[in-house]
């Protein structure tokens, strides 16, 4: 069984997220999503999520490509996650290109996929704000 992992906030779930998850799953048989906790988002990414971690987790678990959702609590856990879950392939959108190549040193294939253009959670929020 080939195991794939990816990380993210996945707030206001949209088709760009789904495109990423669909393509990530194509690299294996089992896809783990390490979902940024509310604390990690706020402390480390200055992101205030619209949906809580539990709500975002439920939504991700309902996606056919996703097999397991675990919490992302810090930047450092990727190495131990990949070892703990026997991960073969690490996948991220290419806005992160090069940032996680260190995982190759522990035998993990690292893949950066093109982002889906024209859609982002930030864009959704600003579009909705303009409509008021």
Give the tokens for residue 26: 């194509």
119 binds ligand C2G (CB under 6 A): yes
Give the tokens for residue 54: 């539990």
116 binds ligand C2G (CB under 6 A): yes
**Catalytic-labelled residue, pool 45, 99, 104, 125:** 45
Q: Quick one: which segment of 16-24, 60-68, 80-88, 101-109 binds ligand C2G (CB under 6 A)?
A: 16-24
Give the C-alpha separation, 5 to 28, whole Å.
Answer: 10
81 binds ligand C2G (CB under 6 A): no
Q: How far, in whole angstroms, is CA 21 from its chain's centroid?
A: 8
* Alpha helices per DSSP H over 13-52: 15-25, 38-45
Site string for ligand C2G, 44-73 (x = CB under 6 A): -x--------------------------x-
Give the tokens for residue 104: 């190759």
45 a catalytic residue? yes
Residue 128 main-chain phi, psi, to 5 deg: -65, -35
Residue 50: DSSP 8-state: S
Q: Quick one: which segment of 48-56, 61-69, 91-99, 102-110 binds ligand C2G (CB under 6 A)?
A: 91-99
Q: Quick one: which segment of 50-58, 60-68, 79-87, 89-97 binds ligand C2G (CB under 6 A)?
A: 89-97
Buried b (16+ CB within 10 A) or exposed e, 80-89: ebbeebebbb
Contact set with ligand C2G (CB under 6 A):
7-10, 16-17, 20, 36, 45, 72, 92-93, 95, 115-116, 119-120
């Amino acid at each position: 069984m080939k195991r794939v992992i990816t990380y993210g906030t996945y707030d206001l779930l949209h088709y760009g997220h789904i495109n990423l998850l669909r393509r990530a799953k194509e690299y294996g048989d089992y896809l783990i999503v390490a979902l940024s906790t509310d604390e990690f988002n706020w402390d480390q990414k200055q992101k205030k999520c619209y949906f809580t971690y539990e709500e975002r987790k439920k939504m991700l678990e309902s996606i056919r490509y996703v097999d397991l959702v675990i919490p992302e609590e810090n930047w450092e856990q990727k190495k131990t996650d990949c070892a703990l879950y026997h991960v073969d392939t690490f996948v991220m959108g290419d806005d992160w290109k090069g940032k996680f190549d260190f995982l190759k040193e522990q035998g993990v294939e690292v893949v950066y996929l093109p982002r889906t253009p024209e859609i982002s959670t930030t864009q959704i929020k600003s579009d909705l704000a303009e409509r008021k």
